[in-house]
């Protein structure tokens, strides 16, 4: 049965912008976000397929496990084709192109001021045309092996993945996105094709275009011409049961650094695929109230000279996992962790004050509004919304409507020092 292209206009009353959600007849979901007055345009073509999707069931119900790092490997190889390298083609249009693999998605992108349609044609064509041979796959093993070793020597990378290993017993989020030298040695052209045709199905992908050249009619015409009709496939990722507990509350490693690094993580017991817009908004306000530069905790740590301007915090969330990280440089990481844990333990009893909540809510709301001034931010958020089942403007509404009781309840659900781990990088 032939499908039809359906376009929906979505208006954001808070910021006065609008975008178009296009369910294209090929099976691809397309988001077009015009930005009047912007000279540049940014396009992002992504698959809901990342490093954590290593075990899945195919259409026959068979469970398949692939080598760690294969999603990242596939991203590298997709730029190559029988008729040349995609980067060389972008060089002729003047577009700046790149790609990335995260825990839960793989995205290919370009940004341009001119020759938009030519650049979009390149993007749509090379992502839909895989080309893998024994020779090229083996060649890439050496290149990615060097990349893995480079990250193994990066203290900022290791402090994070050491933390994930300390927190997660079974979930593949603890595995390095690029895999290991041993795991990528198991990758073959056939395994790459299996993952590609399983996950790079247009029904499992999205295209977001943001900027001055982002016009629905143009994008639909390009999609009609260059997208291949995709049969609906079901590829279901499976994740092992993950205990609420952490593996260990402390892990350390030594590197040639001048000041110790730390990452303190609080693990949330998640029993569903993704958090809601409401939960994400409450978490953002919560963390701003606890650890932003104007917070009591930050001032306490700063006054005791336990942190510097590298201190940061993050809500780390994806398929069946959710954690909060605090990190940075400190000459006494254990003391920092003790103060943060005690502060949060007390806060779980007393609750966040009305004043701190009001300041944090305004700060978060302002930062979220400001993100709409950058093409790449909008494109990335739209992609995340599509793959997580959340709405772009709905999220702003959740921030606007969040209450103090909501955020205090989120505090008690999300931050429990019994399920926290400290990762430290110490000087040699």
Domain with CATH 3.30.830.10 in the chain: 6-237, 250-427
The chain-wide mean pLDDT, for the chain, equals: 94
Distance of CA 112 to the CA centre of its chain: 23
pLDDT tens digits for range 355-365: 999 999 999 99
Q: Which among 237, 252, 342, 246 has a CA at the least distance from the CA of 297?
A: 342
Mean predicted confidence (pLDDT) in 156-177: 97
pLDDT band at 332 (very low <50, low <70, confident <90, very high): very high
For 262-284, what is each residue's pLDDT tens digit?
A: 999 999 999 888 999 999 999 99
Residues taking part in catalysis: 75
pLDDT at 82: 78
State the pLDDT at residue 2.
66
Give pLDDT tens digits for 54-111.
999 877 788 889 999 999 999 999 998 877 789 999 999 999 999 999 999 999 999 9
Per-residue confidence band for 13, with pLDDT thresholds at 50, 70 and 90: confident
Least confident of 6-15, 166-175, 333-342: 6-15
Q: Please, which residues bridge with residue 10 across strands?
A: 19
CATH superfamily of 250-427: Metalloenzyme, LuxS/M16 peptidase-like (3.30.830.10)
**CATH architecture for segment(s) 6-237:** 2-Layer Sandwich (3.30)
Question: Residue 232 has what pLDDT?
Answer: 80
Could you report the per-residue pLDDT of 29-42, keeping only the tens digit for each? 999 999 988 999 99
């Amino acid at each position: 049965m032939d499908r039809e292209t359906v376009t929906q206009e979505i208006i954001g009353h808070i910021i006065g912008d609008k975008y178009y959600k296009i369910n294209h007849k090929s099976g691809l979901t397309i988001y077009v976000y015009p930005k009047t007055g912007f000279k540049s345009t940014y396009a992002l073509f992504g698959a809901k397929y990342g490093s954590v999707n290593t075990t899945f069931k195919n259409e026959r119900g068979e469970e398949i496990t692939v080598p760690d790092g294969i999603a990242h490997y596939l991203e590298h190889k997709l730029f190559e084709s029988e008729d040349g390298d995609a980067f060389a083609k972008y060089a002729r249009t003047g577009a700046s192109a790149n790609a990335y693999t995260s825990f839960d998605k793989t995205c290919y992108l370009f940004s341009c001021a001119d020759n938009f349609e030519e650049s979009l044609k390149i993007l749509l064509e090379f992502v839909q045309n895989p080309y893998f041979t024994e020779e090229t796959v083996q060649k890439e093993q050496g290149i990615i092996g060097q990349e893995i070793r480079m990250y193994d020597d990066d203290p900022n990378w290791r402090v994070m993945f050491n933390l994930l290993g300390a927190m997660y017993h079974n979930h593949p989020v603890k595995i390095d996105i690029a895999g290991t030298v041993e795991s990528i040695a198991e990758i073959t052209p056939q395994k790459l094709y299996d993952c590609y045709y399983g996950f790079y199905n247009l029904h499992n992908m999205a295209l977001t275009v943001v900027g001055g050249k982002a016009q629905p009619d143009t994008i639909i015409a390009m999609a009609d011409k260059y997208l291949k009709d995709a049969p609906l496939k079901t590829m279901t990722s499976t994740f092992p049961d993950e205990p609420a507990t952490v593996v260990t509350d402390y892990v350390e490693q030594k590197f040639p650094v001048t000041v110790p690094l730390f990452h303190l993580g609080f693990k949330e017991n998640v029993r569903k695929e993704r958090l809601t817009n409401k939960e994400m908004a409450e978490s953002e306000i919560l963390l701003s109230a606890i650890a932003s530069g104007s917070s009591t905790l930050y001032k306490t740590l700063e006054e005791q000279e336990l942190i510097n301007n590298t201190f940061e915090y993050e809500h780390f969330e994806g398929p069946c996992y959710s954690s909060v990280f605090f990190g940075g440089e400190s000459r006494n990481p254990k003391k920092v962790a003790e103060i943060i844990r005690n502060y949060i333990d007390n806060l779980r009893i007393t609750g966040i004050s009305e004043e701190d909540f009001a300041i944090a809510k305004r700060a978060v709301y302002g930062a979220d509004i400001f993100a709409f001034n950058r093409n790449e931010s909008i494109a990335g958020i739209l992609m995340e919304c599509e793959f997580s089942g959340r709405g772009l403007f709905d999220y702003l509404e959740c921030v606007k409507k969040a209450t103090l009781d909501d955020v205090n309840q989120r505090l008690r659900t999300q931050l429990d020092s019994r399920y926290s781990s400290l990762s430290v990088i110490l000087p040699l």
